[in-house]
């Protein structure tokens, strides 16, 4: 068990470019979450997958954001036409297969800077 | 709408002292209350968690106290050490509907001074 892995750790991009982040959850976990954290704030929920199904999206997730989890394994988060306000830490978390197994384990995050 | 309010924003405690961080929630559907510790540049790490069927949970130097009627819970760090210096987040979720998304507080930056 290597924990939740996120790639890249850091990304600097120019405004208007598209970026994609990857998350590899703990292998036996069927639930996967994406959160966004800005400086001095707690993480905010973006979206949730159970296996390959995206079951909830926050209103924070504008139409420039899209997330996928093909085959219920790794997940990707894509931001199109990045804006400076997208600069944040993007965190992925996963949790276990059975309801009641609520412990969510976070990855190290991907820090996005839009210049 | 902030559903989990956390205080204080920052806290300075002497080594060996007790650090206390407080949180209050609004959503009565919440039934799981974890605390996370975060170091700069790292993701949050689960520290300790409680469910509302107990009023206190202790793990080593860390204790959660929970008051269901007041909708408040707190983290106590006993014998605080310099290595405890980090940002602490309380969180809450409802585990009844499958999506156990966490709602976080705004965080407390804890500094332990020698």
pLDDT in tens, A15-43: 999 999 999 999 889 999 999 999 989 99
Confidence of residue A102 (pLDDT cuts 50, 70, 90): confident
Task: Tell me the CA distances in angstroms from A13 to A92, B70, B87, one per residue in order.
Answer: 20, 46, 28
- What does the pLDDT average to over A88-106? 84
Higher pLDDT, B100 or B105: B105
Give percent of chain B above pLDDT 70.
Answer: 96
A41 contacts in chain B (CB < 8 Å): 106-107
Contact B98 A33 (CB under 8 A): no
**Which residue, chain included where needed, has tokens 């979206």?**
A47
Looking at residue A100, its pLDDT comes to 59
Contact B43 A95 (CB under 8 A): no
Q: A114 has which bridge partners?
A: A13
pLDDT classification of B80: cutoffs 50, 70, 90: very high
Query: CA-to-CA distance for A103 and A38, rounded, in angstroms?
Result: 23
Residue B98 has what pLDDT?
67
- For the ranges A61-65, A94-98, B5-9, the one whose mean pLDDT is highest: B5-9
Query: Which chain B residues are within 8 Å of A39, Cβ to Cβ?
Result: none
Give Rg (Cα) of chain A. Answer: 13
Query: Contact B107/A40, CB-based, under 8 Å?
Result: yes
For residue A1, pLDDT over 60 is answered with no
pLDDT of residue B1: 53
């Amino acid at each position: 068990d290597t924990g939740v892995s996120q790639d890249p750790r850091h990304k600097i991009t120019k405004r208007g470019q598209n970026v994609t982040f990857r998350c590899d959850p703990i292998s036996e976990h069927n639930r996967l979450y994406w959160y966004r954290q800005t400086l001095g704030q707690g993480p905010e929920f973006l979206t949730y997958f159970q296996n390959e199904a995206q079951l909830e999206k926050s209103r924070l997730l504008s139409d420039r954001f899209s997330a996928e989890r093909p085959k219920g394994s790794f997940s990707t988060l894509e931001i199109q036409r990045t804006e400076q306000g997208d600069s944040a830490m993007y965190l992925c978390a996963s949790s276990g297969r059975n309801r009641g197994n609520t412990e969510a384990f976070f990855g190290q995050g991907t820090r996005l800077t839009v210049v | 709408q902030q559903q989990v309010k956390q205080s204080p924003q920052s806290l300075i405690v002497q080594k060996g002292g007790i650090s206390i961080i407080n949180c209050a929630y609004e959503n009565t559907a919440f039934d799981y209350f974890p605390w996370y510790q975060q170091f700069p540049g790292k993701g949050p790490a689960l520290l300790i968690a409680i469910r509302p069927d107990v009023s206190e949970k202790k793990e080593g130097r860390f204790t959660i106290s929970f008051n269901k009627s007041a909708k408040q819970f707190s983290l106590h760090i006993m014998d605080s050490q310099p290595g405890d210096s980090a940002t602490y987040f309380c969180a809450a979720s409802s585990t009844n509907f499958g999506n156990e998304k966490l709602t976080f507080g705004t965080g407390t930056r804890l500094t332990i001074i020698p």
